[in-house]
Amino acid sequence: MSIHRRRLGISIASGLLMEGLNKISPLLILYHAQKYLGLAAFGSAQFGMAWLEIMQPLVAFGYTSYAVASISRGHESAPLLSHITSLKLVQMLLVMLGAFTFGLWQNSGHPLQEYFLLLVLLLTGTVLDASWLALARQKLAYFSALGGLLRLASLLAIFMWVRAPEDKQLFMLLQIIPSVLMAMATAYFAWTRLGWSPISKTSLPAIVRFALPFAGISLLMAVYDRFDLFLMERWFGLEAAGAYAGPAKVVQSLAALGTSVVAAFSAEMVQVKDRDSLARHTALSLWCMLAIATPIVFGSPFVETEIMGLLFTHESAAAHGIFSWLTLGIIGQVFITVFGLQVLQLKGEPWRLFLCLLPGLALGPMFAWFLRNTYGWQVMAWAAVASKGLAALLVVNAARSFVGPVPWSPILRTLAAGACMALALYGIVLQGIILNLIVGGIVYVSCLALLNRQKVAWVLSHPKIARTWRGILG
């Protein structure tokens, strides 16, 4: 199966545009929230959001990945909507009961008790979500545009109404609402195309059983991105968690720039059946994601101080270097996403991915516990990077049975472009974030194009781009 360049290009381009808007919005939100809430209230809000988001996979339960994988194997999509929605509704009620009981058992003020109504709203959106159908039918561009508009509306609302530490629950609510509205939109999309099929009670246990590994993966991935924040709050307090959460959220936002690439290639790879096509799609997906991640990783030490100073009014000296260290984890996340979520998960081996993720998640907290007294906050970032690094190695090794040898050439060529950029910035010693971004960008893009001529030629050979160049050159 050949790579569908036009559809893939449109999906990636529109996704990157909206993701860019979506990522500018959270950065402005972080600046405004930390400024008006203060470190303690901001840390409490981020800690609470982390708890709520950990509850989400218990309801989502990997049904999105299960549905996409099921459609990929040729199963009928019509009954999926009614069966998955019914199962998620039952699980939502069970999670709410468990969260309420746990919140009462814990001391007053625990996030599951304090933010229970927000949890209900978030889980309601999770029940309604039917993004799996949009992914399977390559309708990502429309929902990316809608998501961007909702995020911008949320940003304006936060700027207008979040003005004091007492507004932390309103701040959390305004962050949750866009995802709930997006879920409603996907539910409408699925309902108008599939309708509501009769529910087969005998099918429900089988769906739960098949979705179980996907649920485990979703839960582990959520914990991977938040365990360091949980440990920060437990060992160093809410103010420390608030100071750490700032750079951590920025890194998460930057890492998500590759979401459009992930979604576009996942939509294409659902239809891929033969090994050679899968290997080509995997190599191209990896290259695209690394091309986005590499300048972030190699350039972060040169702009960290100014970026953190611009984004956050309340800074701590102990948080210096956290941002740069955490960006290293993006590389591990890229490999987990491409070889794990796109290859192992989509091709029917979710249990292998789950087992590959477990050792990394065990390593991180142990690493942090042993070294926390010696190195303080820095060790939390090191633990997050070590966790993703170990998991990435295990995932890539497991995926080789599907895609063959690791495509080292595009990996090393892309990383080399980032290294050239870092050496140039180190040697020139520029003052100011703007100059560093401009010069670093020019050096990186030039080296990337020079070292990856075949990939650039593949892009330039697209019919529309070729016609544009012919028009320019006469």
Among 391, 406, 421, where does a domain finish? 406
Distance CA 175, CA 7 (A): 31
Q: What is the mean predicted confidence (pLDDT) over 452-474?
A: 57
Distance CA 83, CA 200 (A): 8
Among 406, 436, 462, where does a domain finish? 406
| Same domain? 360 vs 428 | no
Distance CA 23, CA 2 (A): 32
Query: Does residue 226 register a pLDDT over 80?
Result: yes
| Same domain? 383 vs 369 | yes
Distance CA 289, CA 377 (A): 29
pLDDT: is 439 or 310 the higher one?
439
pLDDT attached to residue 465: 45
Query: Does residue 224 register a pLDDT over 60?
Result: yes
| Same domain? 330 vs 423 | no
| Same domain? 103 vs 182 | yes
Distance CA 300, CA 14 (A): 26
Among the ranges given (250-254, 268-272, 310-314, 425-429), the one the predictor scored with the smallest mean pLDDT: 268-272
pLDDT attached to residue 275: 77
pLDDT attached to residue 305: 85
pLDDT attached to residue 357: 95
Percent with pLDDT over 90 in the chain: 34
For the ranges 39-43, 140-144, 258-262, the maximum mean pLDDT occurs at 39-43
CA distances to 62, 387, 455 from 362, rounded to whole Å, are 21, 8, 38
Residues 6+ apart with CB under 8 A from 460: 466, 469
Distance CA 257, CA 446 (A): 21
| Same domain? 397 vs 421 | no
**Cβ neighbour number for residue 466 with a 10 Å cutoff:** 11
Distance CA 269, CA 280 (A): 10
What residue has token string 């997906």? 285
pLDDT tens-digit profile of 376-411? 888 999 999 999 999 999 999 999 988 888 889 889
Residue 108 near residue 99 (C-beta atoms within 8 A): no
What residue has token string 């090794």? 397
* Phi, psi for 407 (deg, rounded to 5): -75, 80
The range of the structural domain enclosing residue 447 comes to 408-474
pLDDT: is 3 or 332 the higher one?
332
| Same domain? 402 vs 437 | no
pLDDT attached to residue 258: 64
| Same domain? 346 vs 451 | no
Distance CA 359, CA 399 (A): 17
Distance CA 346, CA 269 (A): 8
pLDDT attached to residue 29: 82
Average pLDDT across the chain, whole number:
83
Distance CA 16, CA 29 (A): 20
Query: Does residue 458 register a pLDDT over 80?
Result: no
| Same domain? 136 vs 96 | yes
pLDDT tens-digit profile of 166-199? 999 999 999 999 999 999 999 999 999 888 888 8
pLDDT: is 258 or 311 the higher one?
311
CA distances to 1, 95, 127 from 59, rounded to whole Å, are 35, 7, 7
Read off the pTM.
0.79
Among the ranges given (155-164, 217-226, 310-319), the one the predictor scored with the smallest mean pLDDT: 310-319
| Same domain? 262 vs 222 | yes
Among 375, 406, 437, where does a domain finish? 406
User: What is the tally of structural domains in the chain?
Assistant: 2
pLDDT attached to residue 472: 45
| Same domain? 240 vs 376 | yes
| Same domain? 126 vs 183 | yes
| Same domain? 174 vs 312 | yes
